[in-house]
Amino acid sequence: PDKLIRETAAWALFQIDENQFKHHVGSLGYEVMKSLTETIIPNSQGKRSDLLLFDKVKFFDSIELFAGTPGLTLSYLADLSQTIFLKEGETISVDQENEQFYIVYEGEISNYQNGRLRKNFQQGEFIGEQLGNSGMLNANLILANRYTWLLSFN
């Protein structure tokens, strides 16, 4: 929750005064400054390089599986998740060696096994447990059908 509070406070300060944000975040040390800057300040295309923890918590709260889960628990889940950005046409290999579990935060992906389409996944859907184990390297691929954010868990 401390990271969530720090990130939310930094986001609010950025909304109020960008110069004050830069001044105060600069005093938190290089790694924290870099993380907050990349998460909060959009690039030239208006996109951030990562998702805010608060956005992840709101997202988890909107998924039926997590209905009734306390916000504190969702904040821990958000903190454990890794954000993966895929441009349209990019792929991830999800074979037996890959013990990752994914949730589509935004966008759409397709799962291919041995070159054949198995299933499409939309926002809020889980990927991992449905994937077959072919025993072959690069047999299971996730393909981004458009700009896609995945949340990954190990």
Per-residue pLDDT reduced to its tens digit, 68-102: 999 999 999 999 999 999 999 999 887 655 577 89
User: Is the predicted pLDDT of residue 31 greater than 60, yes or no?
Assistant: yes
User: Is the predicted pLDDT of residue 146 greater than 60, yes or no?
Assistant: yes
**Residue in 113, 91, 88 with CA at minimum distance from that of residue 102:** 91
- In this prediction, residue 46 carries a pLDDT of 75
Per the document, the length of the chain is 154
- In this prediction, residue 96 carries a pLDDT of 57
pTM of the predicted model as reported, rounded to 2 decimal places: 0.81
User: Is the predicted pLDDT of residue 44 greater than 80, yes or no?
Assistant: no
Alpha-carbon span 3 to 113, nearest angstrom:
38
Q: What is the mean pLDDT of the chain?
A: 87
- In this prediction, residue 3 carries a pLDDT of 86
